[in-house]
Amino acid sequence: MRRSTKTICMIVITALLIAMTPAVFAAQTEYAYIRIEGYEGTLVEKTAVPLNRFDLKAYGVTEEPSDYTVLHAVIYALKEKGHDPSKAKVLEANGGSYISSVLGLKAEGNAGWMYVLNDESSWNSVKDQKLEKDDYVVLYYIKDWMNCSYSTFGVADEYEVDAFTTVKLNLKHQVTDPVTWAASNENLAGAVITVDGKKTDAVTDEFGNAYLTFKDKGTHIVSAEKYVDGINTISRPYAYIDVQGKGVAVNIYTTDKTYRACVEPKGFDLAKYDASSECEFSALHAIIAALNSNGFDAADPKIANYNKGSFISALAGVEASGNSAWMYTVNNQTSWFAVNEQPLTDGDVLDIYLLNDWATDTYSYFDMTSIKVQGGENIRVRLYRHVLDFVTWETSVHPYANCEITVNGHKAGYVTDNDGYVNLKFNKKGVYEISVLPKEDNISRASVTVDVTSDSDVSLEQYNDYAEVTDNYLTYMEKAVGKYIMNGDQDNNLRPADEITKAEFLTMLVRASKLDVPGKYRKRYVDVVAGNWFGGYAQAVFRYGLAKHDKGYLYPNAAVAADVAEYALNTAFASDAALSDAQKAVFTEGLTREEAAYLIISYMEAIGK
């Protein structure tokens, strides 16, 4: 078929345009990441390295690798920092077999350079270890390879947090089995946290966790160290914290509610509020701004009474009467200034709290106010209280032990230990408020907002002996575990065929019926002692009448009879349903743990729970 000259010209022009157009669909460059840590500081910050292989001959390598390797990444990162890795004073790579010097820091004696790939050791040389997209290499220096180890905050080491929000970091270090040489990363306790090169008071707990709160907008580099006999026994871990926002954090605590706000420290005319201040921005300004941001009309005398700015007698619609009193602290320290005389600036934390009785009660606070965690993640908070010397009027701060801790206003089996700590874990996505009971413990209200960002992945398969669950009860065990009615023992075993004790059954029932569980056990039964794991649940059993007792004896280790189970089930769920023949049959040879799961779940389903 003959084509016209016009058509041929159009084809030629189109071809020319395509040839002149950039290759839009060309493969995009892929990147890996590397960080180089010296003994006392970071030599090269976390750097993105393009996976474009280049010739290594100039760096003393005679056999060119066919892949992009760790050595390529090291060289690229050093060049990005303005160094010339072809010079021995910058890099000694020994033909690519191992690295013995970086920027003059040499491997000598037991000290040396090592590397990990995605937090795992590799036995490959630096020129033989292939890198792929998003791989993360850490080249690190340790003082003594026999007594020191690699440490890490995890491969995901970059965090974005809001000002005044606590970030939890988990520190692990590499432990090598001396027989198999297999390496594992385990929690590291007792390491001192540094921020921007300066030591802090934060030390990792027995779970390897440290909690840090930043008040200023900007970025921070977090690391850690653990010295033994003058040697830092861990490599330098790394976390990059990007803090968003700033201002003054305001927490208003009535006896049963918390109102929070982060306000800009910018003053305004107080005449509308029948008050005045000579401060550019005072505590009174912050209180008014916080009320308004929480939906209150701060100018309404029914909402607040500022007494010309000298003190607060009513706030958030709650008036102080009798011996009750509104008081405040700045950065958890008592202030004796009038609220309109107390200056505030960026980063300050203002707590305004109501005491039930100023003569007997004191201010309390947690070591954090808000934190984000994943479902199933352990967190630890610490409670403090002020103690006032009525002779000198000086205030001291002490951890508050044996204090009941509530979750969303309900007792949940938590109480602070002797050092004021309480460990918590939430499995379901949601926002939880951790608080105290002011009247019960003679303190002001304090609270922590815990934002759980995901559900915990809970399943039978996570337990060592899940395969021992009988097929007939598999569905019920899955539901019991999924609803957090049943969990494993200290060895991570469910023990499905073991006979269940009365204490264990009642505990499952309290969880299933979602009854409040006191953290404190006020001895109600002769045979349940304080400090026993069952104490809080025993208190709930007594409070809600889930079991009859024999002159104060509960017999927590006894087997569970059908009549005892039926009475407990009916009481817990406010029902009069009788057990079915199938449910009664499980008591024939003693109630096992998997049969207990069946009994409780099937009962709940039968009554529509």
Q: What is the DSSP string of 373-428?
A: E-TT-EEEEEEEEEEE-TTT--EEEEE--S-EEEETTEEEEEE--TTSEEEEE--S
Question: Residue 141: which residues within 8 A CB-CB, separation 6 or more?
Answer: 37, 38, 39, 102, 105, 111, 112, 113, 235
Residue 289: phi and psi, rounded to 5, are -60, -40
Pair (107, 37) in one structural domain:
yes
Domain boundary among 326, 361, 396: 361
pLDDT digits (tens, 9 = 90+) for 521-576: 777 899 998 777 888 899 999 999 999 988 899 999 999 999 999 999 999 999 99
pLDDT of residue 520: 78
Is the pLDDT assigned to residue 470 strictly greater than 90? yes
Is the pLDDT assigned to residue 5 strictly greater than 60? no
Examine residue 13 and state whether it is found in any structural domain, yes or no.
no
Question: Residue 256: which residues within 8 A CB-CB, separation 6 or more?
Answer: 409, 445
Is the pLDDT assigned to residue 101 strictly greater than 80? yes
Examine residue 15 and state whether it is found in any structural domain, yes or no.
no
pLDDT of residue 23: 45
- At 474 the three-state DSSP class reads helix
Pair (357, 374) in one structural domain:
no
Is the pLDDT assigned to residue 8 strictly greater than 50? no
pLDDT of residue 1: 41
CB 387 within 8 A of CB 399: no
Examine residue 17 and state whether it is found in any structural domain, yes or no.
no
Total domain count, the chain: 5
pTM for this model (two decimals) = 0.82
Pair (563, 496) in one structural domain:
yes
69: nearest Cα among 159, 6, 131, 119: 131
Pair (274, 239) in one structural domain:
no
Strand pairing class (421-425; 378-388): antiparallel
| Whole-number Å distance between alpha carbons of 71 and 56 | 9
How large is the angle between the packed helices 502-513 and 562-572, nearest 10 degrees? 20
Which residue range is the domain that position 48 belongs to? Answer: 31-146
Pair (109, 190) in one structural domain:
no
- Tell me which DSSP letter residue 126 carries: T
Local confidence band at 391 (pLDDT 50, 70, 90 cut-offs): confident
Pair (546, 437) in one structural domain:
no
Share of the chain above pLDDT 70, in %: 96
Local confidence band at 492 (pLDDT 50, 70, 90 cut-offs): confident
Pair (468, 596) in one structural domain:
yes
Examine residue 415 and state whether it is found in any structural domain, yes or no.
yes
Average pLDDT of the residues in 96-100: 94
Average pLDDT of the residues in 299-308: 96
Average pLDDT of the residues in 263-290: 96
Examine residue 24 and state whether it is found in any structural domain, yes or no.
no
Pair (293, 351) in one structural domain:
yes
Q: What is the CA radius of gyration of the chain?
A: 32
Look-up of token digits 């090291």: 74
Examine residue 5 and state whether it is found in any structural domain, yes or no.
no
Average pLDDT of the residues in 453-463: 87
Local confidence band at 25 (pLDDT 50, 70, 90 cut-offs): very low
Local confidence band at 10 (pLDDT 50, 70, 90 cut-offs): low
The CATH code of the domain that includes 101 is 2.170.130.30
The CATH code of the domain that includes 177 is 2.60.40.10
pLDDT of residue 26: 46
Helix and strand totals (H; E) in the chain: 10, 36
> Could you tell me which residue, 176 or 403, shows the higher pLDDT?
403
Domain boundary among 244, 268, 293: 244
Give, for 535, the enclosing helix (H) or strand (E): helix 535-544
pLDDT of residue 27: 57
pLDDT of residue 2: 43
| Whole-number Å distance between alpha carbons of 593 and 130 | 50
272: nearest Cα among 233, 243, 237, 298: 298
Beta-carbon count within 10 A of 286 CB: 26
pLDDT digits (tens, 9 = 90+) for 323-368: 999 999 999 999 989 999 999 999 999 999 999 999 899 999 999 9
User: Given CA atoms 121, 126, 131, 134 in this order, what sign does their dihedral have?
Assistant: positive
Domain boundary among 94, 112, 146: 146
Pair (118, 202) in one structural domain:
no
Pair (98, 187) in one structural domain:
no
Pair (103, 166) in one structural domain:
no
Examine residue 227 and state whether it is found in any structural domain, yes or no.
yes
| Whole-number Å distance between alpha carbons of 471 and 597 | 13
Is the pLDDT assigned to residue 145 strictly greater than 90? no
Pair (135, 68) in one structural domain:
yes
- CA 468, distance to chain mean position in Å, is 33
Strand pairing class (151-152; 158-162): unpaired
How large is the angle between the packed helices 562-572 and 593-606, nearest 10 degrees? 40
> Could you tell me which residue, 389 or 454, shows the higher pLDDT?
454
Examine residue 588 and state whether it is found in any structural domain, yes or no.
yes
